[in-house]
Amino acid sequence: MRKNMNLISIVFYIFFVSLNIEAKTIQVMSYNVENLFDADHDVINKVEKSDWAFLPKNALGKEKACRNEKSKYRRKECLRADWTNDKVELRLSQISDVVLKDHPLPEFLGLIEVENEKVVGRLAKKLGYESFEITDSPDARGIDVALLYKNSKDIVKVSRAEHVVPVDYATRNILEVEFLIAGKYPLTLFVNHWPSLANPDSWRVKAAEVLAKRSQEILKKNPNMSIVAMGDFNTIDDNDPHPFKTVLFKNDLFQDLKQQAKVAKPGTYYYPPKDQWNFLDHFFINRILKDGKDLEVLENSFEVYSPPFITQELKKKFYEEDQRNVKVVLVPKRLKTEASTKETIGFSDHFPILVNLEYPEVAPLKKVKKKK
């Protein structure tokens, strides 16, 4: 039996070599960059966005708007903040370090918690992307999601759309961008930023229903479509109803890469009050990306990227039998708006996640010179 298997392997190897088939890899990164705002006040369609905490201290109308903040914490934060263009440049530099320091530029970069096209355009230029798509969400603070991508003969944008999540307040739209990979493999990417955990679980179920319904429409039209849904889903295990279990996983529509991978990291986001790690950031894929044909998720490529330079030590105090114990936790080095140096301003309150996709490409056969 073993001899037969070895023979089959040899035959397949000779077959692929004779066709000169090579595997090509594309990388996808999803990163909640925590409040990537510029230093200008946004007014869209005559509606002022509540971006006052990310404006210079002397900005016209800032003090009055800050004092109208209902939350005491937000009010204090807004009045204290002095957000300048120099700080924006520091932020862009920090995010660039995260994306590029240990990896080549990803083919696709999903960004969560960005303000507008201007600031995303500045980041895209700094990173080396020529193209990106961004939502125009009704969110009161002006928060959006974006997808940056490389231009190449193997990555061609086909279409884009965005989808409103119908909940009781204006939240972030879901971004959808379709591509054709290597001229033959259709791929749709969704970028998500679902309603926060301060809102009812049912609101995230609504977001899941929007994503699921649109994905089903796409697959009905093209059953061969590969789909990756990425972003910050703001969902934890004890949500009830649970949007993944009741919607995304229903009828095997999506699979969660985190559940399939051996992930050493406890989460992508740390919640200090409860000393709790959460996986808020995910890649969901449809089964076509795991069927062993054409465009595929590269096995064991899922990664929570948390190098030392984007982490910080957090000391948590506990009391056991009247003895004081201190626990040191390595957590994301989150943004500090009051800071003004590269060493202190931080990065984000989330770790980014990465995954690689792979597809076969038939390379041109080399011409063999005939001997005269």
Per the model's pLDDT, the better-predicted residue between 154 and 74 turns out to be 154
189 within some domain: yes
8 within some domain: no
Exposed / middle / buried, residue 113 (Cβ in 10 Å: 0-12, 13-18, 19+): buried
Per the model's pLDDT, the better-predicted residue between 38 and 364 turns out to be 38
pLDDT tens-place string over residues 280-332: 999 999 999 999 989 999 989 999 999 999 999 988 765 555 456 677 889 99
- Going by C-beta distance under 8 Å and a sequence separation of 6 or more, which residues neighbour residue 2? none
Exposed / middle / buried, residue 261 (Cβ in 10 Å: 0-12, 13-18, 19+): middle
65 within some domain: no
pLDDT tens-place string over residues 44-77: 877 889 999 999 999 999 999 999 998 898 899 8
223 within some domain: yes
| CA neighbor of 252 nearest in space, from 281, 222, 282, 289 | 289
3 within some domain: no
Banded model confidence at residue 279, pLDDT cuts 50, 70, 90: very high
Q: What letter represents residue 116's amino acid?
A: N
pLDDT tens-place string over residues 180-192: 999 999 999 999 9
The total of structural domains in the chain comes to 1
Banded model confidence at residue 22, pLDDT cuts 50, 70, 90: confident
CATH of the domain at 290: 3.60.10.10
Average pLDDT over residues 156-166: 98
Range of the domain at 309: 24-39+84-362
| CA neighbor of 203 nearest in space, from 241, 230, 253 | 241
**Can you say how many angstroms the Cα of residue 228 is from the centroid of all Cα atoms in its chain?**
11
Average pLDDT over residues 227-246: 97
| pLDDT score recorded for residue 136 | 95
182 within some domain: yes
Banded model confidence at residue 13, pLDDT cuts 50, 70, 90: very low
Burial 340-360 (b: 16+ CB within 10 A, else e): eeeeebbbbbbbbbbbbbbbb
Q: How wide is the angle at C-alpha 171 spanned by C-alphas 353 and 58, nearest 5°?
A: 90
55 within some domain: no
pLDDT tens-place string over residues 83-96: 999 999 999 999 99
Question: What does the mean pLDDT of the chain come to?
Answer: 90
230 within some domain: yes
